[in-house]
């Protein structure tokens, strides 16, 4: 049995969880408290004590992109979530890259506004992160299909990354000045009709 370590709120752990669900791979999800008791002990799985980690028969795998690559190369072709090499794959990977960057900026925003003592919050950095998130979301909105999925009739790796990032931003209180992104909102809503997305939602 595959074991996925990572908190429900982590957009990176959720991207892996969505991918596993879309590929029909059974797995166990184990939460990790890296801001508490699990930080030291988790080095046994990742020397940096960070998630996600996927425990497999080939050992513990770290870093989201490397885990996704492992899944793509170990499942049958029909279960792969990335297009074959060519223009479609390039477009898919660019959407994933943009969604990943947005998720990373969102995590930085959380650390600055939720983890740092209020008196030490760097307001200029918060403003910079807010601006980057806004521009990133507008760029991602322009790439998002009006209906259906990034993958066409079925969701692909871009859908997993984009929905994970968008839903994660929805968990952040006080994130002001988010631009209107109706296509992203509609995609996130559509995703909840599928178990791979609904069962891994941060509010599930």
Residue 70 to residues 9, 56, 170, Cα–Cα distance (Å): 23, 10, 29
**pLDDT value at residue 37:** 84
**pLDDT value at residue 84:** 95
Rounded CA separation 1/70 (Å): 15
- For the purposes of burial, counting CB atoms within 10 Å of the CB of 134, is it exposed (0-12), middle (13-18) or buried (19 or more)? middle
Which tens digit of pLDDT belongs to each residue from 56-93? 999 999 999 999 999 999 999 999 999 999 999 999 99
Query: What pTM, to 2 d.p., does this model score?
Result: 0.95
Instruction: Work out the angle at residue 145's Cα, subtended by the Cα atoms of residues 73 and 19, and round it to the nearest 5 degrees.
Output: 25
Which tens digit of pLDDT belongs to each residue from 83-103? 999 999 999 999 999 999 999
DSSP 3-state of 28: strand
Q: Both tokens of residue 67? A: 């885990």
- H helices present in 47-171, as ranges: 64-74, 87-110, 123-143, 157-169
Residues 136-146, mean pLDDT to the nearest whole number: 97
**pLDDT value at residue 177:** 74
Of the candidates 59, 55, 49, the one whose C-alpha atom is nearest the C-alpha of residue 27 is 55
pLDDT band at 155 (very low <50, low <70, confident <90, very high): very high
Query: Are the C-beta atoms of residues 161 and 187 closer than 8 Å to each other?
Result: no
Query: Are the C-beta atoms of residues 99 and 167 closer than 8 Å to each other?
Result: no
Query: Are the C-beta atoms of residues 1 and 27 closer than 8 Å to each other?
Result: yes
pLDDT band at 159 (very low <50, low <70, confident <90, very high): very high
Rounded CA separation 7/12 (Å): 9
**pLDDT value at residue 130:** 95
Residue 57 to residues 1, 5, 60, 134, 177, Cα–Cα distance (Å): 8, 15, 8, 41, 45
Q: Both tokens of residue 104? A: 């990373």
pLDDT band at 33 (very low <50, low <70, confident <90, very high): confident
Strands 53-56 and 59-62, bridge-based pairing: antiparallel
């Amino acid at each position: 049995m595959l074991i996925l370590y990572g908190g429900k709120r982590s957009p990176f752990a959720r991207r892996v969880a969505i991918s596993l669900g879309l590929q029909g791979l059974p797995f166990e999800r184990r939460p990790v408290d890296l801001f508490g008791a699990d930080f030291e002990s988790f080095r046994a799985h990742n020397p940096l004590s960070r998630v996600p980690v996927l425990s497999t028969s080939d050992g513990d795998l770290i870093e989201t992109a490397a885990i996704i690559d492992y899944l793509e190369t170990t499942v049958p072709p029909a279960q792969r979530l990335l297009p074959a090499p060519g223009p479609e794959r390039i477009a898919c990977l660019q959407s994933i890259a943009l969604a990943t960057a947005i998720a990373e900026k969102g995590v930085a925003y959380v650390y600055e506004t939720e983890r740092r003592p209020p008196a030490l919050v760097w307001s200029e950095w918060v403003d910079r992160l807010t601006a980057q998130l806004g521009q990133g979301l507008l760029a991602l909105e322009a790439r998002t299909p009006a209906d259906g999925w990034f993958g066409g009739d079925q969701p692909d790796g871009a859908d997993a990354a984009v929905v994970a990032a968008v839903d994660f931003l929805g968990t952040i209180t006080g994130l002001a000045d988010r631009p209107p992104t109706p296509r992203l909102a509609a995609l996130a809503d559509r995703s909840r009709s599928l178990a791979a997305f609904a069962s891994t939602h941060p509010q599930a």
